[in-house]
């Protein structure tokens, strides 16, 4: 019960952020479409996001939390607080140096790493350099936010850490609405204002989580940085954790570099990424945030069997919601893209480009979520090297596939490569967990997963026939009618899927109701 409630808490906050993010992307699509300014903005924003995932969320939410929990368990709150202060100070200095170097060498980074095919000296390249410099300090803020959020999560204060991304979307929406009101028609001006919005949002998010931490009575202040044995251990764990936890972002950056040779490709991939990030964020991030501290707690207290059960529950919960989302996005990507984005500067050609990429990303959606379920099985045991090796293999395969498939399918080939390499990572992680006796699937979980897959497939077929029927009606020819059709198909798909899950016993609804009513803290039968 506690695990599901924690998932619901983080997932609920993430839903609010993702829906606001959708509204933000709808405004961006209407104002600047999928043209050169959109390419420049998304290319510039990808870079601080990559480092944030690698050195903040990837490294510190996987290497920091187990060590912090160990300090808390063995030395109490004061020892944990001292450890956190040491890490905070070292992290701040490192980030400050990294930010200063990036600002200084940004032209080189953009021309050789971020978007090498934009063309040296072109207006698009110069705008990307300018926007990158404006947004890179976001890395410093969000890395500190990630660390503080890890402390809050360790104390089971999940909501604020999950809710803080809402601030970015609120500020960005405010900027975009202002641009809509001004009606300047200058897309480059809009891009610059959006970059300033990201800059301000970073400091606002940092203030929010720091204030929440102070309310818990946990003091976190800068001290003279020292590489103590505990900090040294963290740094040793952090590098492989950064590579393992940020492999998806590395793959997306590789895709961006390759896609910079096709006009509009970066924007197509970004808009498609935004759509499938809704289920990935709500499900994957919720599980990733909650599962690691829960597994760490179980293992530190000697409850190895409960740790196995916790991971099986997480796998079932993730698959229950992810598989139908993937099936729906594979079947109706064009309708989804049209309803969400096709207006203003976003034309039918952009819709086609985004929907093709979306269907390819949707194939990998379950894998993206499963990586977040499987990786904590290593990280909770302070094993960051094994998933790092898998991440390196994953990245190499992704680069090879991206280069090959891009030459045949343009930007869609990059999305296909990202999905295929994600599934490879899932296979490697599962085999690694099984080989090291960290975790194994129960026969009941395997049966439920098969039934969920069957139910999702049948739901996808039903949606395909329903789309065929609706597309031939007059209702489908107008924007409001298309929105109604999308809502109707989503509702119908949910009814069909959960009915099939009930008939196939993929999930036990009676058991869930009992859990919710009696607030049980343990469940030996999964979801």
Dig out the tokens for 476 from the structure: 């489908």
* Helix runs in 410-442, H state only: 411-435
- Separation between Cα atoms, residue 314 and residue 309, nearest integer Å: 9
Low-confidence ranges of the chain (pLDDT < 70): 1-14, 51-62, 158, 184, 241-248, 281-294, 296, 300-302, 508-527
How many angstroms separate the most distant Cα atoms in the chain? 70
3-state secondary structure of 302: coil
Q: What is the pLDDT of residues 146-183, one digit of tens each?
A: 888 878 877 777 677 778 888 999 999 999 999 988 87
Q: How does 435-473 read in b/e, with b if 16+ C-beta sit within 10 Å?
A: eeebbeeeeebeebbebbbebbeebbebbeebbeebeee
Global pTM value:
0.78
pLDDT for the residue numbered 525: 38
| pLDDT one-digit tens code per residue, 285-330 | 556 555 656 676 777 666 777 777 878 878 888 888 899 999 999 9
DSSP state of 35: S
Inter-CA distances, 230 with 37, 68, 227, 415, Å: 45, 10, 8, 40
pLDDT value of residue 194? 95
CA 140 – CA 245 distance, rounded (Å): 18
Q: In the chain, what is the straight-line distance between the N-terminal and C-terminal CA atoms, in Å?
A: 10
Cβ distance 237 to 382 under 8 Å? yes
Q: What is the DSSP string of 366-428?
A: HHHHHHHHHTHHHHTTT--HHHHHHHHHHHHHHHHHHHHHHHHHTHHHHHHHHHHHHHHHHHH
Measure the CA–CA gap between 153 and 60, rounded to whole angstroms: 12
Task: Report the alpha-carbon angle 258-261-266, nearest 5.
Answer: 70
Nearest Cα residue to 82 out of 192, 250, 208, 230:
230
**CA separation for the pair 6, 286 (Å, rounded):** 8
DSSP character at residue 222: -
For 263, other C-beta atoms within 10 Å of its C-beta total 13
pLDDT of residue 522: 40
Q: What is the pLDDT of residue 72?
A: 78
Q: How many CA atoms lie within 13 A of 177 on its CB side?
A: 8
Cα–Cα distance measured from residue 289 to residue 149, given in angstroms and rounded to the nearest whole number: 9
């Amino acid at each position: 019960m506690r695990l599901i409630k924690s998932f619901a808490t983080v997932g609920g906050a993430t839903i609010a952020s993702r829906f606001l993010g959708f509204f933000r992307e709808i405004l961006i699509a209407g104002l600047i479409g999928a043209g050169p300014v959109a390419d420049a903005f998304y290319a510039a924003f990808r870079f601080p996001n990559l480092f944030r995932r690698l050195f903040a969320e990837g490294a510190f939410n996987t290497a920091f939390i187990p060590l912090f929990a160990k300090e808390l368990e063995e030395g109490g709150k004061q020892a944990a607080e001292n450890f956190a202060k040491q890490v905070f100070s070292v992290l701040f200095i490192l980030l400050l140096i990294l930010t200063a170097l990036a600002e200084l060498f940004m032209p080189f980074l953009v021309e050789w790493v971020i978007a090498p095919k934009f063309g040296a000296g072109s207006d698009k390249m110069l705008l990307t350099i300018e926007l990158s410099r404006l947004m890179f300090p976001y890395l410093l803020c969000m890395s500190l936010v990630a660390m503080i959020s890890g402390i809050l999560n360790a104390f089971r204060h999940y909501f604020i850490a999950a809710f803080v991304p809402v601030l970015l979307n609120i500020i960005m929406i405010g900027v975009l609405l202002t641009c809509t009101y001004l009606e300047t028609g200058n897309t480059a001006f809009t891009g610059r204002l959006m970059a300033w919005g990201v800059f301000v949002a970073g400091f606002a998010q940092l203030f929010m989580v720091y204030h929440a931490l102070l309310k818990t009575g946990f003091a976190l202040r800068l001290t003279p940085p020292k590489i103590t044995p505990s900090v040294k251990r963290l740094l040793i764990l952090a590098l492989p954790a950064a590579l393992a936890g940020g492999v998806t972002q590395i793959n997306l950056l590789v895709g961006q570099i390759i896609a910079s040779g096709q006009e509009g490709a970066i924007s197509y991939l970004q808009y498609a990424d935004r759509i499938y990030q809704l289920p990935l964020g709500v499900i994957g991030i919720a599980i990733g945030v909650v599962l690691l501290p829960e597994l760490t707690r179980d293992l530190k207290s000697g409850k190895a069997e409960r740790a196995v059960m916790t991971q099986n529950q997480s796998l079932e919960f993730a698959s229950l919601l992810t598989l139908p989302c993937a099936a729906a996005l594979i079947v109706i990507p064009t309708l989804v893209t049209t309803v969400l984005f096709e207006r203003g500067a976003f034309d039918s050609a952009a819709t086609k480009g985004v929907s093709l990429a979306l269907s390819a990303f949707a194939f990998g959606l379950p894998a993206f979520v499963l990586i977040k379920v499987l990786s904590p099985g290593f990280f909770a045991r302070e094993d960051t090297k094994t998933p790092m090796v898998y991440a390196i293999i994953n990245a190499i395969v992704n680069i090879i596939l991206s280069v090959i498939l891009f030459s045949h399918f343009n930007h869609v080939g990059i999305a296909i490569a990202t999905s295929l390499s994600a599934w490879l990572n899932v296979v490697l992680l599962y085999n690694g967990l099984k080989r090291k006796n960290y975790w194994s699937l129960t026969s009941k979980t395997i049966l439920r997963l098969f039934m969920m897959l069957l139910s999702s497939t049948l739901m996808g077929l039903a949606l395909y026939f329903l789309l065929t029927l609706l597309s031939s009606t007059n209702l489908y020819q107008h924007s409001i009618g298309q929105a109604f059709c999308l809502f109707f198909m989503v509702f119908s798909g949910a009814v069909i899927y959960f009915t099939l899950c009930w008939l196939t016993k993929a999930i036990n609804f009676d058991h869930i109701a009992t859990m919710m009513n009696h607030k049980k803290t343990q469940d030996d039968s999964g979801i």
